[in-house]
Amino acid sequence: MASAEETTRTDSAPAHDDRERRALGWMDRLLALSSLGLCALFAYTVLAEVSPEWGPLQREYGRLLAVDPSGKGARAPRGIQQIHVQPLELVDRCTSCHLGADKPRVASTGTRAVLAPHPGSMLELHPPERFGCSSCHDGQGRATSREKAHGREANWAEPLLLGRFVQASCAQCHARASAPRAPDLRVGIATMRRRNCAGCHVVPDLDEDRRFGPDLGRIAEKTSRDWVFAWLKRPAAQLAGARMPDFGLSDREAASLVAFLFSVPPPPRPPAAPVAGKGAEAGRALFSESRCITCHAVQGKGGTLAPELARVGSKLARPWLEGWLRDPKAHDPATIMPRFRLSEEQIGSIADYLGEEFEDEDAERWQRAAASALARDREASAGDGRKLALHYNCAGCHSIADLRPAKIGPEHTELGLKPVARIDFGAKASLPRTRLAYLREKLRDPRGFSKGLRMPRFDLSEEARESVLVTLLSFKDRRYPASVRAAGERRPWHGRPPPGPVGELVRELSCLECHALDGRGGTLAPDLSLEGSQVERPWLARYLAQPTTLRPSLTERMLQLRLRADEVGLLVEYLVAARRADGVKSARELFGAAGAPDPESALHGRRIFHERLSCPSCHATPHGARGYLGPDLSAVGSRLQPGWIYHQLLDPVRARPGSIEPRLGVSPADARALAAYLATLRAPPASAPTETSP
Amino acid sequence: MIRALLLTVALASAACRAAPPSPGQRSGPTVAGLEGAALYARYCTSCHGAQGGGDGVNAPNLDPRPRLHRDPAWSRSRSDSALAAAIRDGRGRAMPRFGRTLKPHEIADLVAGLREIAEKGNRP
């Protein structure tokens, strides 16, 4: 009985104890684990504090310095390094890890890029103590861990810029169109200007008020419905290098737009009788003489300022072409094409040539396709077309009836800072959530994100697209003080004609599309700001009346505009009187009272030119020099003033910024002798210049 | 929870160990080479050719003919300082001196660009 009781007790007691012990053990373990966890967390916190990411790097750099023969006992920095740039309100701790960035190379850093000096010579132009690191590279300058410093955090607005994208920062201080060492920025903004992004978006640096597409008021006189239909469907298929993007229009939409465009009554114009030319051969000669290919390309060869002409014969209606050649700006006030002073017969000959020799071999195909589509969509109405024209903002690029341009796209002003959280990735869920990935895809497939998007497809080459992306990321303004900004570079392509009648002429001839005045205008042809101190007046008059080629290696040549004598006189008067340089000697100041070089000094100069210096490599003279990179100097004495020759020889880079002529270190005495020699190289008297007076 | 914490700690420390910047993986042109290539295009190609083939537009007018740059063997036989000196002081009568036009750091970039052009001579 008792034993039975005992048994029962001993039976039940261990079970109870076990349960208790098990419960205790569980609690114990939980406690032990959590305290272990806490210890670990604590240890980690302490460790993280005493051994930051830059610790091992600084020790490694120290070891490298110790064994570096050129180190001369230099010591590696210890602790957090920082660069504080007061004017930019910048604190950058990048050099805590990038230890060698601003120092000479330490031998055997080998492939350790993080310890290597900053590549290239950028730091000599932008010393870190003035510009820091993050002013160019972005990222989070104050952070002291790798990921954070490189800005790879959600919601950090400016992740590290890598590779070509560093150029995006140049625009904080430099004008995009002329930023030195930023080719992507220059190409990108030029591409955006050419494709007229500012037609729909507010784009910094593209704030000029100019329409880029043709005036469509006379489209019905200019070409056929078939051509407009085919063009609207796929511009790039009708014209190589078309600037107009692809709007992805259905046949019905394109037919509606055609109906609308052809329903707009063209503005009245003076009646002109059809002109008879002297045939395509005469036209070809005029085409080449007038140097049309300076701006237009023919089958890919020629300029890029104006449209390719290869297939224009199957596009243009003859009466329109005659009117256009007679006076382009009367047809379209915004065109850059100047009015060539052509006779009616010459106009006819050029029209003969363009009509006969520039036929589109593909014309039959697109004409047939367009005609059948237009016949199918008979119900397409001008009203629908007008709605579409408004929807797609055709007036952003073209002038059409009473349509007004509108900035229907988002502003680009702060695009480089647009928060990723505010970007709608829509259907493109698999894209990395970065601003760059979004913009790249937007340019590639603008309407793929969601339904109802309007942006057309621009068919940019991959290279051009990357350049545009660099430029898009540059759209932000940190408002750096003027002291660090590069001065005097704003909007160089927007020329400003002088006041008065000469300005009217300059505007009408579109001189500043190629030439610049005071650093504003085109870059295709020489800057004319100091022309009056550079050239001899008779030469200038002769050149404007009958342009010749100065540089044999150039393809772009001065247009033969067939200016009237009074027009030449006006331009000469202006350039000679108003466009002078300071400190250029007159011939008398240079050569003494006679104002002419003495033969002895000219002979001395000839020897210097041909025997001592490398001038003959680039220039041609009658005395054996054959280079044709620079201007031919065979008759330079008739063209350039001796004072200017002297001035330019002393310092060609200062005299003509942008010229590639190197400074040879010519002494003033030698420059005088050279100027004397070159002044004796004159055009033969047979073709001696005769000035055309107004 | 704690395991998760411990795991995090372990992973974090492992990540820390792995995190220090990996060796540079740069390939292709260096920045110096890129800037050098731009200078090369501006000042050199008219005589030495766009690809360094010694066949620039002005080459036929020169005696001696411009040096072929796309030649790794030639490039390797010249030191940086020798190349820099040729650019700075000119060579013979045909090659002008650029030492007063380009700054020393630009000449150094140009030499780097020249090296990259030379190495392209290996490729077809």
pLDDT in tens, A242-288: 999 999 999 999 999 999 999 998 888 777 788 888 999 999 999 99
Over range A79-95, report the average pLDDT: 92
Which one of B35, B47, B101 has the shortest CB-CB distance to A120?
Answer: B35
Percent of the residues in chain B that have a pLDDT greater than 90, as a whole number: 39
Question: pLDDT higher for A210 or A605?
Answer: A605
Binning pLDDT at 50, 70 and 90, where does residue B14 land? very low
Which one of A40, A110, A627 has the shortest CB-CB distance to B6?
Answer: A40
Per-residue confidence (pLDDT) for residue A73, from 0 to 100: 63
Packing angle, helices A668-679 and A642-650, rounded to 10: 140
- Burial label, A27 (beta-carbon count in 10 A; 0-12, 13-18, 19+): exposed
The fold for domain A587-687 equals Cytochrome Bc1 Complex; Chain D, domain 2 (1.10.760)
Min mean pLDDT across A14-23, A503-512, A612-621, A672-681 is at A14-23
Question: pLDDT higher for A270 or A568?
Answer: A568
Work out the minimum CA distance from A362 to partner chain B, whole angstroms.
35
Please name the residue of chain B whose CA is at the shortest distance from the CA of residue A112.
B23
Work out the minimum CA distance from B73 to partner chain A, whole angstroms.
24
Per-residue confidence (pLDDT) for residue A13, from 0 to 100: 54
Per-residue confidence (pLDDT) for residue B21, from 0 to 100: 34
The fold for domain A219-396 equals Cytochrome Bc1 Complex; Chain D, domain 2 (1.10.760)
Mean pLDDT of all residues belonging to chain A:
88
Per-residue confidence (pLDDT) for residue A149, from 0 to 100: 93
Per-residue confidence (pLDDT) for residue A110, from 0 to 100: 59
Hey, which CATH number is domain A500-575, 1.10.760.10, 3.20.20.450, 3.20.10.10, 1.10.3470.10? Answer: 1.10.760.10
Binning pLDDT at 50, 70 and 90, where does residue A159 land? very high
Domain boundaries along the sequence of chain B: 30-122
To the nearest 10°, report the CA torsion of A95, A96, A98, A99. Answer: 90
Asked if the model's pLDDT at residue A657 lies above 90, the reply is: no
Query: What CATH number is given for A180-209+407-473 in this structure?
Result: 2.60.40.420
Binning pLDDT at 50, 70 and 90, where does residue A14 land? low
**Token pair 């120092």: residue:** A103
Which one of A37, A112, A626 has the shortest CB-CB distance to B6?
Answer: A37
What is d(CA A323, CA A10) in angstroms, rounded to the nearest whole number?
Answer: 121
Asked if the model's pLDDT at residue A92 lies above 80, the reply is: yes
Binning pLDDT at 50, 70 and 90, where does residue A12 land? low
What is d(CA A348, CA A363) in angstroms, rounded to the nearest whole number?
Answer: 23
What is d(CA A536, CA A543) in angstroms, rounded to the nearest whole number?
Answer: 11
Side-chain-side CA neighbours of residue A264 (13 Å): 22
SS3 content of chain A, % helix, strand, coil (to 5): 50, 5, 50
Q: Does A653 touch chain B (CB under 8 A)?
A: yes
Asked if the model's pLDDT at residue A234 lies above 60, the reply is: yes
Work out the minimum CA distance from B55 to partner chain A, whole angstroms.
13
Work out the minimum CA distance from A525 to partner chain B, whole angstroms.
16
Question: pLDDT higher for A104 or B25?
Answer: A104
Asked if the model's pLDDT at residue A601 lies above 70, the reply is: yes
Question: pLDDT higher for B37 or A465?
Answer: A465
Question: pLDDT higher for A108 or A323?
Answer: A323
DSSP B95: B
C-beta of residue A658 within 8 angstroms of C-beta of residue A584: no
Query: What CATH number is given for B30-122 in this structure?
Result: 1.10.760.10
Binning pLDDT at 50, 70 and 90, where does residue A48 land? confident
Asked if the model's pLDDT at residue A179 lies above 90, the reply is: no
**Residue A367: Cβ within 10 Å count:** 17
C-beta of residue A492 within 8 angstroms of C-beta of residue A520: yes
Chain-centre distance for alpha carbon A201: 17
Cβ-defined contact of A617 to B58 (cutoff 8 Å): yes
Per-residue confidence (pLDDT) for residue B30, from 0 to 100: 60
Sign of the Cα pseudo-torsion (B4, B7, B13, B14, in order): negative
Cβ-defined contact of A660 to B12 (cutoff 8 Å): no
Task: State how beta strands A83-85 and A90-92 pair.
Answer: antiparallel
Domain boundaries along the sequence of chain A: 1-50, 54-160, 180-209+407-473, 219-396, 500-575, 587-687
Question: pLDDT higher for A55 or A474?
Answer: A474
Over range A217-227, report the average pLDDT: 94
Residue A90 pairs in a beta bridge with A85
Per-residue confidence (pLDDT) for residue A519, from 0 to 100: 79
Question: pLDDT higher for A112 or A382?
Answer: A382
- Which residues 4-23 on chain B approach chain A with CB closer than 8 angstroms? 5-6, 9, 12-13, 16, 19-21, 23
Packing angle, helices A183-194 and A462-473, rounded to 10: 100
Per-residue confidence (pLDDT) for residue A75, from 0 to 100: 78
Over range A436-444, report the average pLDDT: 95
Per-residue confidence (pLDDT) for residue A109, from 0 to 100: 61
Min mean pLDDT across A36-45, A229-238, A266-275, A289-298 is at A266-275
Binning pLDDT at 50, 70 and 90, where does residue A496 land? confident
Packing angle, helices A435-444 and A462-473, rounded to 10: 140
Min mean pLDDT across A111-115, A249-253, A377-381, A669-673 is at A111-115
Same fold, A219-396 and A587-687: yes
Cβ-defined contact of B6 to A628 (cutoff 8 Å): no
Over range A215-228, report the average pLDDT: 94
